[in-house]
Amino acid sequence: MASDAVIVRDWDRRPPRGGTAVVIDVLRFSTTVCALLAARRRRVVVARTPAALRRLPGLSGCDVYSELDFRSRGRRFDNSPHMAFSVRSPRPAAVTTGTGARALFAARGADEVLIGGFANFSALLRRLRRAKGPIRLLPAAARWSGHRDAVEDLACAEALSRALGGSRGEAAKGVRRVVRAGRVEEHRRFRPFSADIDLDYCLRVDRLPLVPRARFTGPSTARLSKVNA
């Protein structure tokens, strides 16, 4: 399978077609949506942009998760896996982010679109080993992050690719690479009040052992569900 697993860094210019696409946004989109599904939200929707999110019907009854600065109806929370997991509620959840959401909608031409990171690494790996056709790994920050050292998404994609080829211990190696690159300290500066508890979700291997799959319900909206690993 490893020969069929390709890392697509320029996913905005080369969006995947067919096969399986995996959107990887470790800090924090991938981990946040895993946490929402682990918290048994009965409905989780991703919008490509804040404008698309504001058009969602019933938004006033949703919990909105985003790091972006915009006004909307609904209860607001940061794009935080800790908040996503700890706020237990029957309310639907709506998510939009600056990086992960872009990559998700770039992947909509794939036959199956999954979301992953270190938090669901092993579950995702099991799912990919049963995938039919080519696998495209989309490290979200490789294109849109303004952080020069934002290596976490590429490190996770490369770890998945090597693990698909039979190499062991790749997830832990990937996390160590992220730490050495200084991303932990950078994220602490970016989110001083929530960084440590969010990083415990984002960088703890298999912290949230499930696989989100996206079903696109429009040009700018998608609904997420769990699939069997």
- How is domain 2-222 classified at the CATH fold level? putative 2-phosphosulfolactate phosphatase (3.90.1560)
Average pLDDT, the chain: 92
pLDDT in tens, 80-103: 999 999 998 999 999 999 899 999
Question: Which pLDDT score is estimated for 201?
Answer: 96
Question: Which pLDDT score is estimated for 87?
Answer: 93
Q: 192 pLDDT band (50/70/90 cuts)?
A: low
Q: What is the DSSP string of 116-175?
A: E-STTHHHHHHHHHT--S-EEEEETHHHH---TT--HHHHHHHHHHHHHTT-SSHHHHHH
Domain definitions of the chain by residue range? 2-222
Q: How far is CA 170 from CA 21, 33, 46, 158, in A?
A: 20, 23, 29, 9
Q: Report d(CA 118, CA 116) in Å as an integer.
A: 7
Determine contact, residues 20/110, Cβ cutoff 8 Å: yes
Q: Report d(CA 36, CA 188) in Å as an integer.
A: 22
Q: What's the whole-number mean pLDDT along residues 208-222?
A: 97
Which DSSP letter does residue 22 get?
E
User: Does the pLDDT of residue 19 top 50, yes or no?
Assistant: yes
Q: What's the whole-number mean pLDDT along residues 49-69?
A: 95
Residue among 90, 15, 101 nearest 52 (CA)? 101
